[in-house]
Amino acid sequence: MPGHSWGRIEIPVRVWERQDTQRLLRERDIAGLFRLAQAHGASQTRIASATGIAQGRVSEILSRRRMVSSLELMERIADGLAMPDPSRALLGLAPRQAPLATERSAVAGDTNPAPCPKTSGVDEQVRERLEIASIDSALVRLLEEQTQNLRLIDRKLGAHYLLAQSQAHVQQMHELLRQSIPGTVRRGLARALAEAASLTGWQALDAGRLATSWGYYEIAKSAAQESGGSTVLAHVSAEQVYVLLDSGRNGEALAVLRATHDGEGKSLPALLRSWLWAAEGEVRASLGQEPECRKALDHAFSLLPQQPDDPSLPFLMLDDTHLMRWRGHCLARLGHSEAIEDLTRALDDIAPLGLGRAEAGLRTDLAVAYSASGDVTQAQRQARRATELSERSGSVRQRARLTRLLGPPSPSGGQEVEQGDEGS
């Protein structure tokens, strides 16, 4: 390859053994590794030459405008930086291939090395390289921690800032899974992939990309099935119903939830069962089934544990406040002004947390509830604040809902609010 004309970049072994360097490797922080190379005298041009990556792309990676997720590209980077085998393992790559027999003989001082056996033309055509990724439980935990960090940032800032990063994270894990050996570690990696793909599916939904969202949920379900974990499978399958809701397929969404209840429902953790019943309440509200909606919400409250913080379910954020918000949303959707009390109490708890997307949805529901009660002034106030928060988080989904709620400007310069029919 022409790009390798300058040869590999040599970084001292002691640098690869430093804790800060090992953290860069575990997190697959390619920008950080390139800066490490620069600290040892390599220019962008030299990095481009050693790795075979265009200099413009090297610049984009350094500025974090471009993520590296391809294992083939990481192999080239590892080779270009002369990365030792322990460092390659931390990056999730296999050790370099053992030297050929002729090379081993020459190193040993054998002046008459045995010739390599000849191969037929057919052998040359069908020869493939089997790559097995170096994965252990520690790496799986690091990947899970990365997913949790993305989840926490998403709750604060919204999907607008993270979708591309989450997609790259899923692609990395998907490639590692394909190259991992069956067993306990692979099942753990499959579970981690399911959680990451589900998060990415939710972010794609928030960005208004329904087909992309559906695809990530399919990845999540497939990985959850391979992991053998009924809990994760139930969660990702149920969360996928929101793609159906946003597509106007409310009846099919209900069928998916009922199948989840009828399947492994009773054996699932109480916190997840509470979440499933709340989701069913929302779907029932979308169908105008008020008695069934209220019954589902009652089930959700009755199942909610007194200590709802479950470390084994990091993807669930559910407590009394969030259930009140959920109930308020459903009642507002059904046109009941009594939703105002639940929503106002939930807002008092959620607003100080800085969860922009959650607060935007809550204020949108308040706008609907105030409109149902005839308080147009409060409805306008809540809708305007929800619009500001949605613009800040970049939520296409929330902005679409607000567009349906906000009517044309009134003569006084304000805006009329209509009752909406979109899910939270």
pLDDT per residue rounded down to tens, the chain (424 residues): 443 445 789 899 889 989 889 888 887 889 999 999 998 888 888 898 888 898 888 988 998 878 787 777 888 899 899 998 888 878 877 766 443 333 343 334 444 544 444 444 445 445 556 567 678 889 999 999 999 999 888 887 776 677 888 898 998 899 889 888 899 999 999 999 999 999 999 999 988 888 889 999 999 999 999 999 889 999 999 999 999 998 889 999 999 998 887 766 678 999 999 999 999 999 999 999 999 999 999 999 999 998 877 888 888 888 888 898 889 889 988 888 888 888 888 888 877 777 777 788 888 888 888 888 888 888 888 888 888 887 776 677 777 777 776 554 343 333 333 333 333 3
Position 395 in a domain: yes
Position 173 in a domain: no
3-class secondary structure, 70: coil
Domain's final residue, options 52, 75, 94 = 94
pTM here is 0.63
Alpha-carbon distance of 399 to 44, in angstroms, equals 41
Domain's final residue, options 35, 63, 94 = 94
Alpha-carbon distance of 372 to 113, in angstroms, equals 89
Instruction: Give how many domains the chain has, as a whole number.
Output: 2
Range of the domain at 83: 2-94
Position 284 in a domain: no
Position 355 in a domain: yes
Position 300 in a domain: no
Which contacts qualify for 64-73: CB closer than 8 Å, 24 or more apart?
64/31, 67/30, 67/164, 67/165, 67/168, 68/28, 68/30, 68/168, 69/168, 69/169, 69/171, 69/172, 69/175, 70/171, 70/175, 71/131, 71/133, 71/172, 71/175, 71/176, 71/179
Domain's final residue, options 94, 120, 154 = 94
Position 267 in a domain: no
C-alpha torsion angle, residues 220, 223, 224, 229 (rounded to 10): -160
3-class secondary structure, 266: helix
Cβ(408)–Cβ(372) below 8 Å = no
Chain center to CA of 43: 34
